[in-house]
């Protein structure tokens, strides 16, 4: 087991946003959340620290609500990445195990890659291991400088690199595994003699070599996993790649996706084999979709949706926080929220569950039991239960529970006035 340090103090100026960079989202999940989940998913980390700085109150509140076990450490002022990590020294003063260090803006990193990285560091017996990647055009990324024997010599930031160094294609991915007991002293010896005038985390490599410690390099297989987000352009690029990766996984697992280019599926959504996803669907958040379902086209699942086998969610149907049992259809222009829906139910076109009271700001549940039929353009005003086998007539506004096998009708009787048009024109 080891400890982790996630750096999330930066302002993210290029995002041009009032929101802290690490709280920007992909599929409604923050960049920081993806990193924390990836670390937790390794099953190897017993304690996580997040370095906060810019708008620290907002980041701390997010962590308090969503990751209450995570410890936050304030970096103020922000004097560089090395300074950020040094803020944790008082909390790990007597700790001598391994520490994993990551940036909080790399949402594409996976638990599997982190496990490989940690295992590589552990098995090599090195005191410091950095993660690297190979880029054809590394641009402004820090370059990895190797010794003649291939071992790690140093990391040079692009702004400080010579012309020869800038031609190197191997870059620093910004992830580190440290033997904390041996490396922690480095953070008290960092200098600011660089173009930025900051305490660079990368300088711990030079310190380790000068003090006879062993350094190593782990090269990640998929370089896109360490893609850092610094702008809205990069956020969009990362979102697209995350979606492509998710869709590829579902296709390989037997899900039929008619048009991957117009379909968006959250990586937290599970889908069983032989389900068909039609074009222009957006499936967000955590969902479980069974086998042989049909989704879309133009369907929107907003999260916390559970669909059993053989469910049909048709065109322009929106679903959130709802469980739908097998062989139920909601085919057209429908909203289902905060609901429990049984088997063999038919939801007519234009039906909505009115689950939110804007006066009390309370959301309530709609329950529709097995074999019920809901007529088109109906409004089910929660809290309400439609019992087994009950029918709701078209254009029904249902504000009371409907008994089993009953018919509920709320519309006025039809009146036909003969020759009304001719008389009134």
Q: 149 versus 49: which is more confidently predicted?
A: 49
**Residue where one domain finishes, among candidates 192, 210, 226:** 226
pLDDT at 1 (0 to 100): 85
What is the mean predicted confidence (pLDDT) over 199-205? 90
Residue 213 and residue 326 share a domain: no
The number of folded domains in the chain is 2
Contact 44, 20 (CB under 8 A): no
Residue 125 in domain: yes
> Does pLDDT of 379 surpass 80?
yes
Half-sphere exposure of 318 (CA within 13 A, CB side): 8
pLDDT at 280 (0 to 100): 98
pLDDT at 151 (0 to 100): 84
Burial (CB count <10 Å: 0-12, 13-18, 19+), residue 288: middle
pLDDT at 328 (0 to 100): 98
What is the mean predicted confidence (pLDDT) over 176-199? 88
What is the mean predicted confidence (pLDDT) over 33-37? 98
Residue 266 and residue 402 share a domain: yes
Q: 164 versus 260: which is more confidently predicted?
A: 260
pLDDT at 273 (0 to 100): 98
Q: In which band, very low, low, confident or very high, does the pLDDT at 150 lie, cut at 50, 70 and 90? A: confident
Residue 423 in domain: no
Calculate Rg over the CA atoms of the chain: 28
- CATH number, domain of 112, equals 3.90.550.10
Please spell the DSSP secondary structure of 207-253, one letter per residue: HHHHTT--EEEEE-S-GGGG----SHHHHHHHHHHHHHHHHHHHHHT
> Does pLDDT of 196 surpass 90?
no
> Does pLDDT of 355 surpass 90?
yes
Q: What is the enclosing helix (H) or strand (E) of 156?
A: strand 152-156
Q: What is the mean pLDDT of the chain?
A: 95
Query: Rounded to whole angstroms, how far apart are CA atoms 369 and 324?
Result: 10
pLDDT at 140 (0 to 100): 85
pLDDT at 293 (0 to 100): 98
- CATH number, domain of 363, equals 2.160.10.10
Query: Rounded to whole angstroms, how far apart are CA atoms 87 and 108?
Result: 26
Residue 246 and residue 218 share a domain: no
Residue 418 in domain: no
Q: Among 46-60, 148-162, 204-218, 307-321, which is the least confidently predicted range?
A: 148-162
Residue 358 and residue 290 share a domain: yes
pLDDT at 302 (0 to 100): 97
Nearest CA to 128 out of 91, 154, 166 is that of 154
CB atoms closer than 10 angstroms to residue 413? 5
Residue 187 in domain: yes
pLDDT tens across 79-97, in order? Answer: 999 999 999 999 998 999 9
Residue 222 and residue 187 share a domain: yes
Query: Rounded to whole angstroms, how far apart are CA atoms 227 and 235?
Result: 10
Residue 399 in domain: yes
**Residue where one domain finishes, among candidates 166, 195, 226:** 226
> Does pLDDT of 383 surpass 90?
yes
Residue 137 and residue 73 share a domain: yes
pLDDT at 248 (0 to 100): 98
Residue 25 in domain: yes
Q: In which band, very low, low, confident or very high, does the pLDDT at 403 lie, cut at 50, 70 and 90? A: very high
Residue 276 and residue 393 share a domain: yes
Residue 182 and residue 44 share a domain: yes
Residue 245 and residue 205 share a domain: no
Q: In which band, very low, low, confident or very high, does the pLDDT at 411 lie, cut at 50, 70 and 90? A: confident
Residue 236 and residue 222 share a domain: no
Residue 422 in domain: no
Residue 6 and residue 127 share a domain: yes
**Residue where one domain finishes, among candidates 169, 192, 226:** 226
pLDDT at 243 (0 to 100): 98
> Does pLDDT of 185 surpass 90?
yes
What is the mean predicted confidence (pLDDT) over 291-296? 98
pLDDT tens across 115-149, in order? Answer: 999 999 999 889 999 999 999 988 888 899 998 88
pLDDT tens across 327-347, in order? Answer: 999 999 999 999 999 999 999
What is the mean predicted confidence (pLDDT) over 13-41? 97
Residue numbers of the domain that contains 27? 2-226
Q: Would you state the structure tokens that stand for residue 401, as one six-digit string?
A: 């529970």
Residue 371 and residue 237 share a domain: yes
Residue 421 in domain: no
pLDDT at 82 (0 to 100): 93
pLDDT at 135 (0 to 100): 92
State yes or no: is 300 an active-site residue.
no
Q: Among 74-83, 152-161, 232-241, 321-330, which is the least confidently predicted range?
A: 152-161
Query: Rounded to whole angstroms, how far apart are CA atoms 91 and 353?
Result: 50
What is the mean predicted confidence (pLDDT) over 420-424? 90
Q: Among 78-92, 183-197, 295-309, 366-380, which is the least confidently predicted range?
A: 183-197
């Amino acid at each position: 087991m080891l400890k982790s340090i996630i750096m999330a103090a930066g302002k993210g100026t290029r995002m041009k946003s009032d929101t802290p960079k690490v709280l920007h989202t992909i599929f409604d999940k923050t960049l920081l959340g993806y990193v924390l989940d990836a670390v937790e998913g390794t099953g190897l980390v017993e304690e996580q620290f997040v370095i906060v700085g810019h708008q620290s109150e907002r980041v701390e509140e997010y962590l308090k609500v969503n990751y209450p076990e995570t410890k936050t450490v304030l970096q103020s002022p922000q004097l560089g990445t090395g300074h950020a990590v040094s803020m944790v020294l008082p909390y790990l003063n007597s700790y001598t195990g391994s520490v994993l260090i990551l940036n909080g803006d790399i949402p594409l990193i996976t638990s599997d890659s982190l496990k490989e990285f940690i295992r590589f560091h552990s098995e090599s017996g090195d005191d410091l291991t950095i993660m690297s990647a190979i880029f054809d055009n590394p641009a402004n990324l820090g370059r990895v400088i190797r010794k003649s024997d291939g071992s790690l010599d140093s990391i040079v930031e692009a702004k400080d690199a010579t012309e020869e160094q800038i031609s190197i294609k191997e870059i620093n991915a910004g992830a580190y595994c440290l033997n904390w007991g041996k490396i922690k002293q480095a953070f008290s010896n960092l200098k600011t003699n660089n173009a930025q005038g900051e305490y660079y985390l990368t300088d711990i490599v030079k310190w380790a070599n000068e003090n006879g410690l062993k350094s190593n390099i782990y090269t990640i297989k998929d370089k896109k996993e360490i893609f850092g987000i610094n702008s809205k352009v990069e956020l969009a690029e990362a979102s697209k790649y995350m979606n492509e990766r998710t869709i590829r996984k579902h296709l390989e697992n037997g899900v039929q996706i008619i048009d991957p280019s117009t379909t968006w599926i959250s990586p937290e959504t599970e889908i069983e084999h032989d389900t068909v996803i039609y074009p222009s669907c957006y499936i967000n958040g955590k969902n479980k979709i069974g086998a042989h379902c049909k989704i879309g086209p133009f369907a929107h699942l907003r999260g916390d949706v559970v669909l059993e086998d053989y469910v049909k969610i048709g065109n322009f149907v929106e679903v959130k926080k709802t469980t739908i049992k097998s062989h139920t259809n909601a085919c057209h222009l429908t909203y289902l929220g905060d609901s429990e829906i049984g088997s063999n139910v038919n939801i007519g076109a234009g039906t909505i569950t009115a689950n939110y009271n804007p006066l009390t700001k309370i959301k309530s549940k709609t329950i529709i039991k097995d074999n019920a039929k809901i007529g088109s353009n109906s409004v089910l005003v929660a809290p309400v239960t439609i019992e087994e086998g009950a029918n709701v007539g078209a254009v029904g506004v249902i504000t009371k529970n409907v008994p089993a096998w009953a018919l509920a009708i709320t519309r006025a009787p039809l009146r036909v006035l003969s020759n009304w048009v001719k008389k009134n024109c």
